[in-house]
Amino acid sequence: MLADHIKDEIQNAYRQILSRKSLRARSGQRLMIAEIAKALSVIDTDAIVPEASKAATGHELIPSLQAAEEPQSTSPVVVIEAGTGTGKTLAYVLGTLPLARHLGKKVVLATATVALQEQVSMRDLPDILQHSGLEFSYVLAKGRGRYLCLSRLDQLLQGNSSQDAMLELFGVALDNPVDNNLALYEHMLEKISAGQWQGDRDDWSGVISEKDWSPVTVEAGQCAGQKCSNFKRCFFYKAREQVQQVDCIVANHDLVLVDLALGGGVILPAPEDTIYIFDEAHHLPGKTNQHFSSATLLRSTLAWLETARRSLRKLMNDSRLQDNGVISRECADLEPVAKSIGEQCASVLMMLEHLYAQHLLKTGDNKSSEARNTDSADTMTFELGVVPEELREHARQLGASFMIFSRRLREIAAALRRQIEEADTLIARQHAELWFPMIGGMVSRSEGNEKLWQAFARSDAAGEAPAARWLSAINSVYGGAVSGSHQEPMDYQLSCSPVLAAQTLIEHLWQRCAGAVLTSATLSALGTFDVLAMRAGLPAHTVYHRISSPFDYANAAKLIIPRLNCDPTDTRAHTAAIISLLPDLLNPKEASLMLFSSRRQMLDVLEGLSPELRKVVLCQDDYQKAQLLTLHRQKVDDGDHSVIFGLASFAEGVDLPGRYCEHVLIAKIPFSVPNDPIEATLAQWVEQQGRNAFMTLSVPEASFRLVQAAGRLLRSETDTGRITVFDERLISKFYGKSILASLPPFSREIFPDWLEQPQPLTGPV
């Protein structure tokens, strides 16, 4: 049960914020604070020692805090869907942080993107700290790749040609810094020396391109850690020290998952000592699958192995190293291993070329024009993740070979670490430091191959969701288009991913963390949390809540479904119908956002508009997202008509309040792409279990995405506008009616007479 002094601290902080900012209490916000605090109160409260007894302070703003559940033996997990306008950031901070501080636990607040991460750390938390009366410390945590490596910077400024040769091992042709980037790197050093920059890429005064940044940062495997001569000044490790000292760490999902993949407690505090808050939590299962997936490119790997063999020979013969025998011996032993792996990879490449050719013969004529314009058009998914036995046998051999290769590379890396610390001469230490990042990069790449081949050799456990395994044909890294008489050889990528994040999150997070809060404006689908629970493997004791938005949907917005006289699966007819209706729907006095599920259809609709309408459209393909949104706002501010054409990335996380968006148009129900290997494998498994994959997966996911897309319209309680969905299936299909019912209670205008009904398409678009 929640201790009285903690409850009072939360109550007082909320009152103080309302008073100091002249705000009124929001019922949904109060409820969210209460439910989070109540759910987390089952964490071992015996460890809490009251600072002082605190008297009650009148009527409670959050009365349900008193109704705490009895302690459980498992870590609490609470899922809260909080509608737009709830004020969820304040709610989850007040519901979590006071309790965590008294328990001696850390709070890791993880957002979906770096942009949201910076908003929380630079705007929301400072505001809460200033007005709540709470005392807490926080820091923005970033991955290693956001920080400059002082050793790399030193090596570049020394103009050491060996460094360029080693960097080329990673497949990047770098310009000579003396010719192009020297001024930038010297300016970096000046800023660092003057104490004006702490090596954080995001704090640099200008824009640093990836090409200029990559030479001065390192991956985990390339970092010598405490053995590095710059360790005491290292920006990344200084930042990591702060992470261990503060009450609240603002991270993003990716950083949390990187830490969990490393075992937990490596970058962030240990899961056992941490209460996690996942904002925009609907992204967590997908991001988890990405972080625990694996892939390899065959031709690229062959080229890398040959380059690695040459480099290992150079390392073995580097007389400037103070070799204790380990490096020479391991380099010599790796030569035949690398050669053997290369031969095995070449055999697999021939097999994959044959497999892919058969795939094209079998499916090429059946692919729709829309599929041909997606990345999945060149992908062969192995049914239920089961690969041919011949390929599996090769995978077993390659998995074992790469395991040996990785182990011996790690021995070389360890020997170089020792030499960095113990070398008798300065030049020996410097050369060990120069070689270490290159060997560390080789270790990472070898371990990646080892992980992939072992995943392809593994049999999935009976009764559990299989891993998705697939083959993709892509343009060769050696350049050139696929078509034409002089086409370059194709490269073939093998990939493996979990189809559900459930087991991964159970093992790495839910069974280990002190507690967790998952929240977003949209987490349920068709009125339940079943899909989220399945994909994320949420524990049986998880507590779920839905908190309605304070918006008056019925009076603020109208949902329009025009009659199209066609089915959206008939792409040509559907596109023509949209083109026909848009002139009547796009009001020059309204800023609009039109969302498409298909890039091909977006471009076809744009092409079909009149020249006058095309001039007002800002298309996603023509601008970077931030640039497009800025340009749109400028046009609206200038009184010009502006319409955004965007894909799925514009259906969430886009905030265009008030007059910046008064009409959202949605081309069709946003069903997922059927050729996605992960979703295809999951659907096959669901069907194998005797369930209908369309109703179990596709319809709930489409409902979820449609709610998100519609949510772009009303961003504040004063916003008004229209939503138009060009999809009669919401009315004509039984599943469409379920999806329609899951939308907020907008007023509706079905098949309005004022929209001219286009005739069915009979000719070409």
pLDDT tens digit sequence for 703-743: 999 999 999 999 999 999 999 999 999 999 999 999 999 99
Based on the domain organization, do 391 and 513 belong to the same domain? no
pLDDT at residue 550 is higher than 80: yes
Better pLDDT: 758 or 656: 656
232 domain residue, yes or no? no
pLDDT at residue 231 is higher than 80: yes
pLDDT at residue 21 is higher than 80: yes
pLDDT at residue 63 is higher than 70: no
Distance of alpha carbon 93 from alpha carbon 33, whole angstroms:
8
Based on the domain organization, do 481 and 605 belong to the same domain? no
230 domain residue, yes or no? no
Based on the domain organization, do 394 and 541 belong to the same domain? no
Report residue 610: phi and psi, to 5°. -65, 155
Distance of alpha carbon 126 from alpha carbon 471, whole angstroms:
48
Based on the domain organization, do 452 and 522 belong to the same domain? no
Q: Is 10 helix (H, G, I), strand (E, B) or coil?
A: helix
pLDDT of 669 reads 97
Based on the domain organization, do 438 and 474 belong to the same domain? yes
pLDDT of 759 reads 54
Better pLDDT: 156 or 615: 615
Distance of alpha carbon 476 from alpha carbon 487, whole angstroms:
10
Distance of alpha carbon 247 from alpha carbon 472, whole angstroms:
45
pLDDT of 361 reads 78
pLDDT at residue 763 is higher than 50: no
**For residues 564-572, average pLDDT:** 94
Better pLDDT: 462 or 60: 462
- For 154, 177, 182, 430, the CA distances from 186, given in Å and listed in that order, are 10, 10, 6, 21
111 domain residue, yes or no? yes
Distance of alpha carbon 555 from alpha carbon 747, whole angstroms:
7
pLDDT digits 0-9 by tens, 177-215: 445 578 899 999 999 999 999 999 988 988 888 889 988
Based on the domain organization, do 691 and 634 belong to the same domain? yes
Q: How confident is the model at residue 65 (pLDDT cuts 50, 70, 90)?
A: very low
pLDDT of 60 reads 47
The CATH number given to whatever domain includes residue 610 is: 3.40.50.300
Distance of alpha carbon 233 from alpha carbon 539, whole angstroms:
43
Percent of the chain at pLDDT exceeding 70: 88
In which domain, by residue range, is 519 found? 4-137+504-547
pLDDT at residue 481 is higher than 80: no
pLDDT at residue 643 is higher than 60: yes
Name which of 200, 206, 208 is nearest 234 in CA terms: 200
Based on the domain organization, do 514 and 369 belong to the same domain? no
DSSP state, 658?
A: G
pLDDT of 323 reads 73
20 domain residue, yes or no? yes
pLDDT digits 0-9 by tens, 282-311: 999 999 999 999 999 999 999 999 999 999
Written as one letter, the residue type at 186 is E
Based on the domain organization, do 557 and 539 belong to the same domain? no
Distance of alpha carbon 672 from alpha carbon 693, whole angstroms:
12
**For residues 468-483, average pLDDT:** 67
182 domain residue, yes or no? no
pLDDT at residue 390 is higher than 70: yes
Based on the domain organization, do 519 and 596 belong to the same domain? no
CB within 8 Å of 498: residues ≥ 6 apart: 288, 289, 292, 293, 465, 467, 468, 504
Q: Is 758 helix (H, G, I), strand (E, B) or coil?
A: coil
Based on the domain organization, do 37 and 68 belong to the same domain? yes
Q: How confident is the model at residue 264 (pLDDT cuts 50, 70, 90)?
A: very high
Distance of alpha carbon 739 from alpha carbon 700, whole angstroms:
8
Q: Which of 470, 493, 516 is the C-terminal boundary of a domain? A: 493
3-class SS string, 344-383: HHHHHHHHHHHHHHHHHHHHHHHCCHHHHCCHHHHEEECH
pLDDT at residue 72 is higher than 80: no
Q: How confident is the model at residue 760 (pLDDT cuts 50, 70, 90)?
A: low
pLDDT at residue 249 is higher than 60: yes
How many degrees, rounded to 5, is the angle at CA 663 between CA 661 and CA 668? 125
Based on the domain organization, do 59 and 116 belong to the same domain? yes
Q: How confident is the model at residue 174 (pLDDT cuts 50, 70, 90)?
A: very low
Average of per-residue pLDDT values in the chain: 87
- For 46, 388, 391, 629, 659, the CA distances from 348, given in Å and listed in that order, are 59, 12, 7, 46, 57
Distance of alpha carbon 95 from alpha carbon 608, whole angstroms:
52
CB–CB of 651/713 below 8 Å?
no
Lowest mean pLDDT among 55-64, 141-150, 473-482, 675-684: 55-64
pLDDT digits 0-9 by tens, 494-513: 999 999 999 999 999 999 99
Q: Which of 483, 516, 547 is the C-terminal boundary of a domain? A: 547
222 domain residue, yes or no? no
pLDDT of 123 reads 94
Domain count, the chain: 3
642 domain residue, yes or no? yes
Q: How confident is the model at residue 675 (pLDDT cuts 50, 70, 90)?
A: confident
**For residues 447-457, average pLDDT:** 97
pLDDT at residue 52 is higher than 60: no
pLDDT of 674 reads 73
pLDDT of 259 reads 94
Based on the domain organization, do 619 and 487 belong to the same domain? no
Q: How confident is the model at residue 13 (pLDDT cuts 50, 70, 90)?
A: very high
661 domain residue, yes or no? yes
CB–CB of 522/743 below 8 Å?
no
pLDDT at residue 761 is higher than 80: no
Look-up of token digits 């062959």:
302
